[in-house]
Structure 1
């Protein structure tokens, strides 16, 4: 997204993207990789304790890391190529679901947003309209009509069954769809974030950029008895996350939340939260969380990582350093070269 004359910001990535937070699935471990020598110094003893006890196993770990680093370095180019191929070859089943309409939204969400837009809106008043979970600052509310969720899943299944190229959402979810590549960003996710979610996050999360959300990454993940069953404890590359359960029929698979990522896991207890179809769970991206295994069926979730460049320009949430900017595609990872994007004020109500 190149800078426009009208003042639209260009978004960047932090250089840590190719070295930090590489997830080793078999050991449920995130690692940093700068060189093989440093990696051995930092992680070989820990990996041995986790069951990586032979030279062959360690070499397999290194092989997977090199593959992941190479994938990340080529990601922007490959993603753009996939998006172009999808646009050229894929024929949507339900073209209308790519364009956000108010009729898709739950009545409760529209009422919540109407309240947030009013001049008398307060955080206390908003909380009376939401269901606050036992986990700190985790809120539940209906997002979509059930009929829309069903049509959206039909569209996504139609895409999954097509011959169009597909990329995985992130290093931890192996099954799912990147919505920007499919063409949802400009006409669906961006207006949803700007017009409906931003008024809510402004009141709920003023301390972590909720009033300054200016970019996002959106994707759908699937949990299935023959695919991913669960998701390990982690935090998101986001200031605020919305997680919407789209369906289908499934048993178990609740989310669980801990404290913020700076708090050692041994010092916090996790709170289990049920996820209901059509409803969204809104939480801080840096809050530790995970997904318990489903025991039956199939589950589809829409995830929107919402980002505030004002916050992340100061400190990259993934490496805890001032970001070292590198070129990115589209919204990239939400960094800009300005503390606050042009023509944008930050609401701190």
Structure 2
């Protein structure tokens, strides 16, 4: 995956920042033990990490996560090769995007957005808006596609194929690039269908020039991942589509925008609607409440704009320190040298 012939890269902060300590529901930055105690000791104690034994266990969890991240690229490439060679697809048709998978109302929205007179005001007539947080619900897929897709994912889950965690906070789910769905499904969905919509909704965060993504499916079930702690995404714009199956509770909640936080954030709660998606800015702080029964599968697409994130990494809030990556990496482009020339923000010219 290249952007104008350049490989996509990652920011070095991936190995040190935003490390989630599951047992205490806390994101930390980790350089060494002394720094961890200084920067996060109090927050850990407040969350119940009081003894040296408990601190040691948290430290081991953090160090294991750092090691996992360092091996991630190599292991992901290996898994993808094994899956490509050996996995027996149950529904091969779902791997290539077709208009018939998309809800007629979604296609109507895309038609509007690609028409010469399209504007934000006109687009909003087609969408359900939530508060002033720029969160929108829209139909995306047909019910039939969702059922076939979840059936395929369950088939993969039950196979003996190697499986990577979708991200640092979800243990259950599937990385769609490892399944071989990036080139034939997610990329055309982003480029042809989603970008005309995001260009109107989010021009200020790169919605008109989303040139890469990370796509995964997460699964919530009673004896697996129940909920998701408060966080923001490594994305400029996120699409979260509810694929089913039958579940109760498990609503999403949204707080402040990460770069505009208030002392007492106002949260709003939004229900999942099958086959429909929520679009929101990646920096919108959010989480998922526990499900009460059943199983919930969601497709998450983190969409990224290199011309925005090349200026400032959304995860460390600094100019990115670029390191090599595989595939779309974390959506950065540029040169690996520290003295890389300034990039032009193409979105500001759009």
Alignment TM-score, normalising by the size of structure 1: 0.95
Q: Does 1:336 align with 2:333?
A: yes
* Alignment-derived partner of residue 139 in structure 1: 136
Q: Does 1:92 align with 2:86?
A: no
Query: Are residues 90 and 199 of structure 1, via their aligned partners in 2, closer, same or farther at CA, if it must alter by over 3 Å?
Result: same
Q: Structure 1 CA distance, aligned partners of 2:166 and 2:209?
A: 24
Q: Does 1:174 align with 2:171?
A: yes
Q: Structure 2 CA distance, aligned partners of 1:259 and 1:22?
A: 21
Q: How many residues align?
A: 343
Indicate the larger mover: 157-166 or 39-48: 39-48
**Partners of 2:308 and 2:347 within 8 A in 1:** no
Indicate the larger mover: 108-117 or 36-45: 36-45
* Alignment-derived partner of residue 125 in structure 1: 122
**Structure 1: 5+ residue stretches without partners:** none
Deviation at 1:144, TM superposition (A): 0.2
Q: Structure 1 CA distance, aligned partners of 2:206 and 2:222?
A: 37
Deviation at 1:43, TM superposition (A): 1.6
Q: Aligned runs of 1:209-220 on 2, under 5 Å?
A: 209-220=206-217
Q: Does 1:183 align with 2:180?
A: yes
Residue 205 of structure 1, aligned match among 184, 202, 205: 202
Residue 291 of structure 2, aligned match among 280, 294, 300: 294
Deviation at 1:263, TM superposition (A): 3.7
* Alignment-derived partner of residue 152 in structure 1: 149
Residue 29 of structure 1, aligned match among 4, 20, 26: 26
Residue 46 of structure 2, aligned match among 40, 44, 49: 49
Indicate the larger mover: 62-71 or 237-246: 62-71
Indicate the larger mover: 56-65 or 325-334: 56-65
Q: Structure 2 CA distance, aligned partners of 1:78 and 1:60?
A: 25
**Structure 2: 5+ residue stretches without partners:** 335-341
Residue 250 of structure 1, aligned match among 243, 247, 251: 247
Deviation at 1:131, TM superposition (A): 1.0
**Partners of 2:2 and 2:328 within 8 A in 1:** no
Deviation at 1:330, TM superposition (A): 0.1
**Partners of 1:246 and 1:302 within 8 A in 2:** yes
Q: Structure 2 CA distance, aligned partners of 1:248 and 1:296?
A: 11
Alignment TM-score, normalising by the size of structure 2: 0.95
* Alignment-derived partner of residue 11 in structure 1: 8
Q: Structure 1 CA distance, aligned partners of 2:302 and 2:131?
A: 22
Residue 69 of structure 2, aligned match among 69, 72, 82: 72
Secondary structure at the residue paired with 2:312?
coil
Secondary structure at the residue paired with 2:6?
coil
* Alignment-derived partner of residue 227 in structure 1: 224
Over residues 52-92 of structure 1, what are the superposed CA-to-partner deviations in whole Å (9 max), with x where a residue is unaligned?
Answer: 11111111111111111111111100100010111111010
